[in-house]
A = this chain, B = another copy of it.
């Protein structure tokens, strides 16, 4: 059998996903590049990392969180001030009881943001002490929030557009596994590298095998247009001889890691993606992305053309 031979001659690779053969279909990487593994801890909820969580939530969630915290902290301080006594503040004499509380809430906001209008002001040691602490906490709290805000805003990303489907297309004398990528952003990527791992439930060894796939070219210098990444399926390839049915039965997954330099801050960025068996078109070919030259010597492309292929 061809697969037995394959298992003999191909050295297995290790992507870090283990070799367990699941009965159910699993997906190691989601299409958005997130890793589909949950790590737990018997003692506490594992590895909850506030910083990464605050960087990872959506903008809507982040803004809501900031707003709720702002109202919450001010309510808390208003309660403290109110319990110490509204008479320990100058400027509150004319307000009624419930008005006093709302004025103390706004005094707290004016202290936390250090705007400090001063029409209300603490005039005892106790209230002055609390507001001295509040203004210090305000400075530090807002520094954290604005640091996170800027951190979220400036977070480096490899905004890679992957073609919706990968194809098995003719390549040189054989066929090749191919997909295309393009840069979705205006800034440029340089020194782009690609690695492909192939995960497959081997029907013979009953283990999940991983292999790195050799690429026709695994690195380019610039990515202004699109790049077709090709794994030639020749007799040295671990997927040589496998059919579309094998891919489905073996729960095949192509795990992709793209590395590049973002030229804004010259940071190294990574992008991950995977193709499962049902995202691969057999006997199809990508249609070249039209490149339009302009009078001024520039060229333009439409990156949605990246997904276009035709059945052969």
Residues on A lying within 8 angstroms of B by beta carbon are 14-18, 20, 22-28, 35-43, 46-49, 51-53, 55-56, 66, 70, 74, 90, 102-103, 106, 109-111, 113-119, 121-123, 125, 128-129, 131-132, 135-136, 138-140, 142-147, 149-151, 153-156, 159, 182-188, 190, 192, 195, 197, 217, 220-227, 255, 257, 261, 263-270, 272, 288, 291, 293, 295, 297-304
Contacts and interface: CB of A to CB of B under 8 A. Distances in A.
Contacts of A185: 47, 49, 52
A265 to B, nearest CB: 7
Contacts of A295: 24
A136 B70 contact: yes
B291 A20 contact: yes
Copies of the polypeptide in the assembly: 4
A149 B154 CA distance: 13
A224 B28 contact: yes
A158 B117 CA distance: 46
Given A38-B299, A186-B49, A302-B41, A125 B102 contact: yes
B156 A265 contact: yes
A235 to B, nearest CB: 22
A308 to B, nearest CB: 11
A186 B135 contact: no
A148 to B, nearest CB: 8
A139 B113 CA distance: 7
30 contacts: A16-B225, A17-B224, A18-B226, A20-B291, A27-B297, A35-B224, A36-B299, A37-B225, A39-B303, A40-B301, A40-B303, A47-B183, A47-B184, A49-B185, A49-B187, A52-B185, A52-B187, A66-B136, A110-B115, A113-B114, A116-B116, A118-B118, A118-B121, A140-B146, A140-B149, A147-B150, A190-B272, A195-B221, A261-B268, A266-B267
Nearest to A147: B150
A265 B155 contact: yes
A265 B49 CA distance: 14
Residue in A110, A153, A293 whose Cβ sees the most chain B Cβ within 10 Å: A110
A25 B297 contact: yes
Nearest to A219: B14
Contacts of A131: 106, 115
Given A16-B222, A35-B224, A146-B147, A128 B102 contact: yes
Contacts of A22: 291, 293, 299
A40 B110 CA distance: 46
Contacts of A155: 264-265
Contacts of A41: 302-304
